[in-house]
Amino acid sequence: MDRVALRGLKARGHHGVFPKEREKGQTFVVDLVLGLDTAPAAASDDLTKTVHYGVVAEEVVDVVRGEPVDLIETLAQRIADQVLKHDLVEEVEVTVHKPDAPITVPFDDVTISITRRRP
C-alpha cells in the first residue's frame, strides 16, 4: 500500500472539556497518512484514480472547525471517518495535536494518533 501524507493542517476549533476551551477555542494541528494504491493514477497520470489531497485537507479542516467535542480522541475518530469516505483510501493514520492544551506545567504538545482501516 502506498502512502500520501498531509502534515500540519491547522484549524481553530472549540474542543475540550473546560468551558474556556469551548468559549475561546484554540488551534488544532492535524497530520494524516492515507493508505491507498497509487499505481493506477501514476500509470495514467489521472487525478480521478487517486485521492485529491486538497479536497481531503478542506474536509479535515471543516471537521476541526465543526461541532465541538470533549476529547481529541473523538475528534481524531471523526476525522478518520471523514477520510475513509473516499473510496480509494483503504486506511488512514490521524494525529491530532493540541499544542495549547490546558496543562499547568511546561510542555511542547499533546497528541493522539489513531489508525483506522476500511472494514
Helix (H, G, I), strand (E, B) or coil at 12: strand
Helices 72-83, 53-65: inter-axial angle, 10-degree rounding: 150
Identify how many contiguous H helices and E strands the chain contains and give both numbers: 4, 4
Catalytic, 98? Answer yes
- Which listed residue (24, 49, 85, 98) is catalytic? 98
Closest CA to 89 of 32, 51, 53, 40: 51
Residues carrying an active site annotation:
98
